[in-house]
Amino acid sequence: MNSNRKLRVGYVLKVFPRISETFVLNEILELECQGVEVEIFSLNPPSDPRFHSRLGRLQAKVHYLPRPDSSEMWRKLRGLVSSTELEASLTGQIFLRALEQTDGAGLKVFLQGLYLRAIACEKGISHLHAHFATVATRAAMTAHRLGGPTFSFTAHAKDIYQEERDKSLLPEALAEAEFAVTVTDFNVDNLGALTPNASEVVKRIYNGLPLDEIEFSALPEQDIPCFAAVGRLVEKKGFDDLLEACALLRLRGVRFRGVIAGGGEKEADLRALHSKLDLADCVEFVGPVSHDAALAIVRDSRAVVLPCIVGSDGNRDALPTSLLEALAIGRPAVSTDLEGVTEIIEHERNGLLVPQRNPVAIADALERLFTDPELCARMGRNGRAIVEKRFDLSANVGEIVKLFDTVFEGHIESTIGVSPLSPTFNGAWGLEDENRVHIG
């Protein structure tokens, strides 16, 4: 990056912060460490009171957009229309297209996109990056279509595979984005089928971990071995299969303990199954916990289990952070042969892979780890080495910085001799900054 120019990027998210999206916070913090100035645009405020302990380090301002149906949104947009030269024909076309969505979602995103266009101009931001190919990417793309900044996005898993996703979004976004990041090679192959220039647009960059803050630790000495299972209690995590496996271990006379940390829509069903299988004396639900508490639970375990599956709605995991963190701490993992997971877990090297929906195989793998601490220790060392090589936050975010820098340099070259922003902006937006919140 040219040291004489400051790279400024706007991050667009549906909700920020989210305790389940540690990877987003890690990425932004590392961008700041590498000299990128970030401003965050959250389409909605958070509803979960739990925050990641690293949030206090965030320098980026967090802007919460007004509700599209609020008087504040309309008041500000009236001021924007009167103080800028929006291209009427283009704006009208985009507006009419938005109205084609009968559920009102199109109009909502149109207003959010118009607002993003405005505030990005006012802040001097020439590029937006959205996480998840959902409403966040749609809003960033709308801002771009309205004459605003260039944009890019990161696609993860549910936004690629879930049946109820916005199926028109990915082909459109891939055609118009400067680039698209995704987190597994399997995702690259699937996104490549949607665009003729996939090799130019889609870049695989793994999520990374701040390894200087996640220390490797030796296995705890335990008379009764313990497993940890950390994740949202949703279908794609496969925790019902884990409970069935625990019941099988009990029938075999295997002594063990298990801790399941997390909350979610399947919690009531899982607790009912837990009660039905009479697992109260060996498996404990501890509910949603902080990130630090989750890491502590992993450190106190012999192994970590995450029996991922493809859900009935097509939803799946791509690169589960809980598995990465387990390997970084030095714990072997039991997971499934789900694509993406296989890019983390190397069978017999840093963990054990089993078929999806196979409680017997899960029980076999856990029993093997419970009875062979030397195998666990060897796999734990291998896991840390793999994470250091493949999932280092600094190195992986550095690849994102290179992409931003390429866009930035291209923008500068295309605007030499003219205003640094599109001529449709006149800089007199009249925006008040009362909507800005600085967390930390």
| The predicted structure's pLDDT at residue 51 | 72
Strand-pair partners of 128: 10, 151
The DSSP line for 228-257 is EEES-SSGGG-HHHHHHHHHHHHHTT---E
- Whether residue 268 is predicted with pLDDT greater than 80 in this model: the reply is yes
- Tokens at 335, concatenated: 């997971």
Alpha-carbon distance 230 to 177, whole Å? 34
The DSSP line for 154-167 is EE-SHHHH-TTS-T
Q: What are the E-state strand segments in 283-367? A: 283-287, 303-306, 333-336, 351-354
| CA 66 distance to own-chain centroid | 23
| The predicted structure's pLDDT at residue 377 | 97
142-194 pLDDT, tens per residue?
A: 999 988 899 999 999 999 999 888 888 999 999 999 999 999 999 999 999 98
- Whether residue 429 is predicted with pLDDT greater than 50 in this model: the reply is no
| The predicted structure's pLDDT at residue 164 | 85
The answer to whether the 8-208+392-437 and 226-390 domains have the same CATH topology is: yes
Three-state SS letters, 187-219: HHHHHHCCCCCHHHHEEECCCCECCCCCCCCCC
| The predicted structure's pLDDT at residue 433 | 38
- Residue 346 vs residue 414, higher pLDDT: 346
- CB burial of 137-156 (b: ≥16 within 10 Å; e: otherwise) equals bbbbbbbbbbbbbbbbbbbb
CB 376 within 8 A of CB 332: yes
| The predicted structure's pLDDT at residue 102 | 55
Instruction: Measure the CA dihedral 131/135/141/145, to 10°.
Output: -160
| The predicted structure's pLDDT at residue 69 | 76
Q: Domain boundaries in the chain?
A: 8-208+392-437, 226-390
375-402 pLDDT, tens per residue?
A: 999 999 999 999 999 999 999 999 999 9
Alpha-carbon distance 168 to 177, whole Å? 14
- Terminal Cα distance for the chain, rounded: 28
CB 126 within 8 A of CB 420: yes
What is the topology classification, in CATH, of domain 8-208+392-437?
Rossmann fold (3.40.50)
Lowest mean pLDDT among 3-7, 169-173, 297-301, 429-433: 429-433
Alpha-carbon distance 52 to 244, whole Å? 32
How much is the mean pLDDT over the chain?
Answer: 88
The pLDDT of 20-25, averaged and rounded, is: 92
| The predicted structure's pLDDT at residue 414 | 52
Is domain 226-390 classified as CATH 3.50.50.60?
Answer: no
47-97 pLDDT, tens per residue?
A: 877 677 888 899 999 999 988 778 877 776 776 666 555 666 677 777 777
Alpha-carbon distance 435 to 45, whole Å? 11
| The predicted structure's pLDDT at residue 413 | 56
Residues contacting 27, CB < 8 A, separation 6+? 207, 208, 393, 397, 400
Alpha-carbon distance 31 to 80, whole Å? 31
